[in-house]
A and B are shown apart, each in its own frame.
Chain A
């Protein structure tokens, strides 16, 4: 059973950079059919797609965040990461990592999510 687990700081300050890691277990991380992504959800609000990363490192980002977002993969550690810079209180959210299996498919496996408050 594939499992995804987010990890990162419990609190970040405004203007700082958020770094989150998603560790994948129970499956073949480097499979050419597996793609990875990040989604966030502000408290009490809906879901917002952040971005995806595909084979050979190609990435797609939400234009609303594109100038501040970087998603990368470390195959040797079965991990992929999210960096989000220039944080404000509006970035306070639960951040989820997720898997996409094959092209033209939605996220089918999700991590449990990690709450990241942005506050001084």
Chain B
């Protein structure tokens, strides 16, 4: 199985901050990475697919980058609605696997 390792596990930030979350795959997965946002009691929401493609309707302050085994999700200016947990997921090969999550908290 391909392991997805996110860092940090928790991130404290303020409104307006630039936030970066990293995700490392245990082997090369080309660009087959997605990023999800999840709020308490809610289903995950797709933000980014194919490493850097923005899902329709997602604000442009979200961006993704990377290829191979190293990937990054960036929020350019953190908004109050962005405090949530973020997951990366590889869909290069089965079994699909998720990172352990990064919780973005209010500083």
B97–A49 CB distance below 8 A: yes
If the complex has contacts A46-B100, A46-B101, are A106 and B95 also in contact, measured as CB distance less than 8 A?
A: no
Task: Name A106's contact: one of B43, B89, B100 (CB within 8 Å).
Answer: B89
Cα distance, A113 to B41, chains bound together (Å): 9
The answer on a CB contact under 8 Å between A105 and B91 is yes
- A110 touching B44, Cβ below 8 Å: yes
A106 close to B101 (CB less than 8 A): no
**Of the candidates A96, A106, A113, which one forms a contact with B91 in the assembled complex, judged by CB atoms under 8 Å apart?**
A106
Chain B at the A interface: mostly helix, strand, loop or mixed? loop
Q: Does B87 contact A (CB under 8 A)?
A: yes
Q: Indicate with 1 or 0, residue by residue over A35-68, a CB within 8 angstroms of chain B CB atoms.
A: 0000000000011110010000000111110000
Residues of chain A within 8 A of B1, CB atoms compared: 63
Contact count band on B: 20 to 34
Task: Give Cα A33 to B36, complex, Å.
Answer: 22
Q: How distant is B94 from chain A, measured CB to nearest CB, in Å?
A: 5
Scan A107-120; emit 1 where CB is below 8 A from any B CB, else 0: 11011110000000
Q: Give the contact-size bracket for chain A.
A: 20 to 34
Q: Assess whether A90 is interfacial by the CB under 8 Å rule.
A: no
Q: Of B36, B46, B89, B91, which contacts A104 at CB under 8 A?
A: B91
B49 within 8 A of A: yes
Write out, one digit per residue, whether chain B residues 14-33 have a CB within 8 A of any chain A CB (1) or not (0).
00000000000000000010
Tell which of B43, B94, B96 touches A96, judged by Cβ atoms closer than 8 Å. B43
Q: Check A111 against B91 for contact (C-beta < 8 Å).
A: no
Q: Which 7 A-B pairs have the closest CB atoms?
A: A106-B34, A110-B43, A49-B96, A47-B98, A62-B95, A60-B94, A46-B100
Q: List 14 A-B contacts (CB under 8 A).
A: A46-B87, A47-B101, A49-B96, A49-B98, A60-B94, A60-B95, A61-B95, A63-B95, A106-B34, A106-B91, A108-B55, A110-B43, A110-B45, A112-B43
